[in-house]
Structure 1
Amino acid sequence: MDTLPFSRRQMLQATSSGIGWLAFAALAQGGSQSRLPVPHFPARAKRVIFLTMRGGPSHVDLFDHKPELMRHSGQAASLGKAAHGARLLGPIHPLHQHGQSGLWISSQYPQLASHADDLCIINSMHTDLPNHAQAFGQMHTGSFQFVRPSLGAWTLYGLGSENENLPGCITLNPPADNGGSQNYGSAFLPPICQGTKMGGSQLPELYAALLKKDETPGPAMKNIANSQVSPQLQRAQLDLIRGLNQHKLEHEIHHPEIEGAIQSFELAFRMQSEVPEVLDISREPESTRKLYGIGKGKDQFARQCLLARRLAEAGVRFIEIASPTHWDHHNLLKDNLAKSCTATDRPIAALLTDLKARGMLKDTLVVWAGEFGRTPYAQGTDGRDHNHQGYSIWMAGGGVKGGHTYGATDEIGYKAVQNPMHIHDWHATILHLLGLDHSRLTYRYGGRDFRLTNVSGKVAEGVVS
């Protein structure tokens, strides 16, 4: 049975009556419509901003300082068949210590480095496979084999949304490859939990305005407003459609597609009142736009970081942003790593600065992660291959220890050896910070109870403040 205190039928009744996601828990418990689902225990974070660095950033070039790797750079890698006779390759750019904590951060991330004392760098991540599609899917859903609900969908299912006029889970400019919509989908969870896509590589026209210096971005969604009919007539149309869908559903008892249609129509109607304003970054003062680097060259990622802050401020529970460049540096590592860092450094640092200035960083969990890392040995002469056995991510705010390094790889950065953190452990830790017990956040489907962390996962208490 469902762990949360409302059933699928009650959830549908809530959205069908127009009262929205905010009322789901209250409907089941007989309370007021303004109540949200109750977390399992007091939460440290209220929301998540997930910065996805697709392609596999090189941890030994960014956050994982390895003196032994530097010392033996150029020597043959003694890692058996895995290295295929390759030679060790030290960091292509130097790492330096920053802040009072002395965290090691690449010279290519100078502005992010100014936030060293806010970061919790996890140097002991590992995942199951070194293939992009499978690892990317596991990072998002916990599974590399099957279609499963995304981390954002589980978050929304467990906590609900703070704003019934906006989607609770939004993904900005998601990549179309590596699983596409499965990475933000709801799978067997209620359709209202799925992520809403804004922009994306398949619809570049939606963000065309974002790349023009002298134009406001406009809504990053098409057809958000209806210029043909009044809101009153729209409401009447939706009531008719909802009635027809409800009639069909009552006869068929269980039909997720119809449930999803009812919920989507209602949410889309409510979104018209708030989305254009939230997505209009021209409302921001020039000083804020300058902080993010908006108006300087290709500033799409900067705009998305600012939009993420605005969406978080408006009550969106889970926001994901995809990196503007691919970190899959099999060659030309020195130049390409510098480009990837430059494209993300200022906007990410600005996001942390902005959240902190508004008092939001303390309850906003910011996550920076790729699907795996890179090898400590060279691929060819100037690249690195995939490495899933040990790599780095970082988190900030939302109840994590700032200025802290957790876990470690071996002396050359090949494999996690100290406090190894599997994807399931990482997911369990994120849910824990949100006030959710990963072992209790379950959904019954196909005759068994499913959860994000499958049958494993352990909270890394060492990263929790």
Structure 2
Amino acid sequence: MLRLGGTGALAGLSLPGLLELEAKAASQRGAQAKSVIMIFLEGGPSHIDMWDLKPEAPKEVRGSFHPIATNVPGIQIGNILPKCAKVTDKFTILRSHSHRDNGHQTGRHWCLTGHPPTFNDGQATATPFNSEYPSIGSMISRELGHGGAVPPYICVPEPMGPGGPGFFGAKYSPFVIETDPVQPDFQVRDLNLAAGTSRRRFDLRRRLLSGVEQLAEGRSGRGRAASMSTYYEKALELITSPAARKAFDMNSENPKLREQYGLTSLGQCCLLGRRLVEAGCRFVGISHGSWDTHVDNFTSHEKALVPHADAALSTLLTDLYDRGLLDETLVVMWGEMGRTPRINGNAGRDHWAQCQSVILAGGGIKPGTVVGATDKTASYPSTTPYGIHDLLRTILSQM
């Protein structure tokens, strides 16, 4: 299992007893995670409406939805997740995840780095905003390195706020796809030569650039020159790699499969995530916003947010399983917090980091189980609470 004690980022063992590894013969132990697809629902999804419903709670807590049976006896989830209910045997629900930061920026910093931020919530203006501590994507990129033709750490369709390399340096920054794969004209920057530039001319420019970089290093040291060189190298790798271009070619996918994922930003990002791990990407970070439902929580969850997540997650897990990739791909879906059990005056739910649900699948995680439980209103864990460090260590130990 991956140990990061030498990195100074996160040290320690995985969470004892949190999620049992599937029983495997010694010859099969190498089938743990080679890649991670992390779906981060920015704003904070409502655990009590999706994964941990409380039908016996007072009306001002239980809300509009009701639990339904899944394909795993004894496990129920929200009726707004009918597709996930059919594939519950492929994932695990961690219901007793808890931490204490109810801020969006600060909570995300904790979730993706495992460390406290150096700023107050709302004050971060630059992206990435984890200038000191590396993100989990950068940790995995540094430890495992390249696994194929594409960069080891990729974010889509935008940077993850605290998803930077911190003190690891620019070499471990994510390659950010700043266009949305749901768009008909989706293209990835850096995949093609500039118009009018031949391969011969490109190679000449590359040699000239190398000479300029060496001169810059001699005059000013490696700092900025090394950082810029890293960015150029990433771009050059993509331009010169047919395999990378193939991985990003969404039009080569079966239209029926694209529809199953959902012709939405989240659905197509998850499909692209599968293509990227097939091509050797170690960590795919998918950001999906608008989950901060202070107003009209139930309409937002039922009509817009959850249907996209339901189709995307259920199809991603089935697709990975059918291709023999689920055992070696760890899928994690969560946000920076849960939502308040008590409904506010705007039919919304507010920030609530004290309790949230996390979905984990693949990568050696035992599927079809529930870990932890919560009290009668899903306000606090009623069993052992597991925190951000526990979750990040578990992810890292599966690699």
Letter in 1 for 2:267: A
Does the CA contact (< 8 Å) of 2:274 and 2:320 recur in 1?
yes
Give the corresponding residue for 2:207: 239
- Choose the corresponding residue for 2:229, options 259, 262, 267: 262
Distance 1:54 1:181, change over 3 A: closer
Letter in 1 for 2:176: K
Give the corresponding residue for 1:320: 285
Runs of 4+ with >6 A deviation: none
Alpha-carbon distance, 1:156 to partner: 0.3
Does the CA contact (< 8 Å) of 2:69 and 2:76 recur in 1?
yes
- Choose the corresponding residue for 1:329, options 293, 310, 313: 293
Alpha-carbon distance, 1:128 to partner: 2.7
Give the corresponding residue for 1:225: 193
For the pair shown, the structure with the greater C-alpha radius of gyration is 1
Give the corresponding residue for 2:320: 355
Give the corresponding residue for 2:18: none
Alpha-carbon distance, 1:46 to partner: 0.4
CA distance in 2, matches of 1:72, 1:122: 21
Q: TM-score, normalised by structure 1?
A: 0.72
Q: TM-score, normalised by structure 2?
A: 0.83
Give the corresponding residue for 2:64: 92
Does the CA contact (< 8 Å) of 1:192 and 1:263 recur in 2?
yes
- Choose the corresponding residue for 2:142, options 157, 164, 167: 157
Does the CA contact (< 8 Å) of 1:125 and 1:393 recur in 2?
yes
Alpha-carbon distance, 1:378 to partner: 1.7
Alpha-carbon distance, 1:348 to partner: 1.9
Task: Describe the SS at the equivalent of 2:69.
Answer: strand
Alpha-carbon distance, 1:57 to partner: 0.9
Does the CA contact (< 8 Å) of 2:33 and 2:364 recur in 1?
yes
Correspondence 1:385 to 2:354:
no
Q: How does 1:20-169 map to 2 (within 5 A)?
A: 44-66=32-54, 70-74=55-59, 88-146=60-118, 147=130, 148-163=133-148, 165-169=149-153
Does the CA contact (< 8 Å) of 2:53 and 2:78 recur in 1?
no
Correspondence 1:400 to 2:365:
yes
CA distance in 1, matches of 2:397, 2:94: 16
Give the corresponding residue for 1:301: 266
CA distance in 2, matches of 1:307, 1:427: 24
Correspondence 1:172 to 2:153:
no
Give the corresponding residue for 1:290: 259
Distance 1:348 1:229, change over 3 A: same
Alpha-carbon distance, 1:314 to partner: 0.6
The runs of 5 or more residues in structure 1 that have no matched partner are 5-40, 75-87, 175-179, 200-205, 435-465
Alpha-carbon distance, 1:430 to partner: 0.4
CA distance in 1, matches of 2:219, 2:397: 40
Write out per-residue CA displacement over residues 224-277 of structure 1, whole angstroms, 9 at most, x where no aligned residue: 42333222332232222223323433555541x221221221221120133432
Give the corresponding residue for 1:183: 162
Return the structure number with greater relative CO, CA threshold 8 A, min gap 6: 2
Q: How does 1:314-463 map to 2 (within 5 A)?
A: 314-323=279-288, 325-338=289-302, 339-380=304-345, 382-434=347-399
Does the CA contact (< 8 Å) of 2:31 and 2:327 recur in 1?
no
Alpha-carbon distance, 1:72 to partner: 4.1
Distance 1:408 1:423, change over 3 A: same
Give the length in aligned residue pairs: 359
Task: Describe the SS at the equivalent of 1:192.
Answer: helix
CA distance in 2, matches of 1:431, 1:250: 38
Task: Describe the SS at the equivalent of 2:182.
Answer: helix
Letter in 2 for 1:159: L
Identity %: 28
Letter in 2 for 1:107: N
Distance 1:127 1:242, change over 3 A: farther
Alpha-carbon distance, 1:131 to partner: 1.1
CA distance in 1, matches of 2:337, 2:262: 28
Alpha-carbon distance, 1:119 to partner: 1.1
Alpha-carbon distance, 1:42 to partner: 5.4
Give the corresponding residue for 1:10: none
Does the CA contact (< 8 Å) of 2:190 and 2:238 recur in 1?
no
Task: Describe the SS at the equivalent of 2:168.
Answer: coil
Alpha-carbon distance, 1:349 to partner: 1.4
Give the corresponding residue for 1:310: 275
Write out per-residue CA displacement over residues 262-321 of structure 1, whole angstroms, 9 at most, x where no aligned residue: 122122112013343222122122332233234xxxx33222221111111111111111
CA distance in 2, matches of 1:181, 1:62: 23
Distance 1:247 1:417, change over 3 A: farther
Does the CA contact (< 8 Å) of 1:101 and 1:116 recur in 2?
no
Does the CA contact (< 8 Å) of 2:157 and 2:177 recur in 1?
yes
